[in-house]
Amino acid sequence: MPWWSYALLSALAASATAILAKVGVQDVPSNLATAIRTVVVLVFAWGVVFASQEHQGLSALRPRSVLFLALSGVATGVSWLAYFKALQMAPVSRVAPIDKVSLAFTIILAAVLLGEQVSWKLGLGAALMVAGALLTIWK
């Protein structure tokens, strides 16, 4: 499958995640809900690793890769904790678009930290997405 197929699958799964999480956090503390979700992700991810025989690559991991993957995990944890708290406080139709403002942050960070080029089309598209997300917070 091409990369964009995985990206589209990710977007579809993320939309299901938002709906399922909104129902799941009702009457459950948001941090507990996040912890439950994290355990499921942990078991699922390791199941995929073992099923695909990728666990054999553990011995070849470099410390730098482990460090940055761990930092990414911390960022994911912060994101999930904040997302579940927001879902408890507001409608998913308003929380999810604001969460997707991460696209603009990602483009900026990729340009500054990774030296990726930002074309005018990419910049305009991201700006329009941010504008659309911001429109969702006003009634």
- Judge contact between 126 and 104, C-beta under 8 A: yes
| Nearest by Cα to 20 from 100, 96, 131, 79 | 96
Structural domain of residue 121, as residue ranges?
100-139
pTM attached to this predicted model: 0.85
Classify residue 8: in a domain, yes or no: yes
Model confidence at 20, pLDDT cuts 50, 70, 90, reads very high
Is the same domain home to 129 and 72? no
Is the same domain home to 86 and 110? no
Whether pLDDT at 138 is above 80:
no
Q: What was the pLDDT predicted at 137?
A: 83
What's the CA gap between 138 and 125, in Å, rounded? 21
Classify residue 135: in a domain, yes or no: yes
The phi and psi torsions of 115 (rounded to 5 degrees) equal 75, 20
Q: Structurally, how many domains does the chain consist of?
A: 2
pLDDT, mean over the chain: 94
- Judge contact between 20 and 92, C-beta under 8 A: no
Is the same domain home to 27 and 70? yes
Is the same domain home to 54 and 110? no
Whether pLDDT at 95 is above 70:
yes
Is the same domain home to 38 and 75? yes
Which tops the pLDDT comparison, 1 or 68?
Answer: 68
Q: What was the pLDDT predicted at 136?
A: 87
What's the CA gap between 103 and 90, in Å, rounded? 21
**70 alpha-carbon distance from chain centroid:** 15
Summarised one tens digit per residue, pLDDT across range 45-84 is: 999 999 999 999 999 999 999 999 999 999 999 999 999 9
Is the same domain home to 85 and 104? no
Classify residue 14: in a domain, yes or no: yes
Give the list of residues 6+ apart from residue 98 with CB closer than 8 angstroms, or none: 86, 133, 136, 137
Comparing 32-36, 41-45, 130-134, which segment has the lowest mean pLDDT? Answer: 130-134
What's the CA gap between 81 and 123, in Å, rounded? 29
Is the same domain home to 47 and 114? no
Q: What was the pLDDT predicted at 139?
A: 67
Is the same domain home to 126 and 73? no
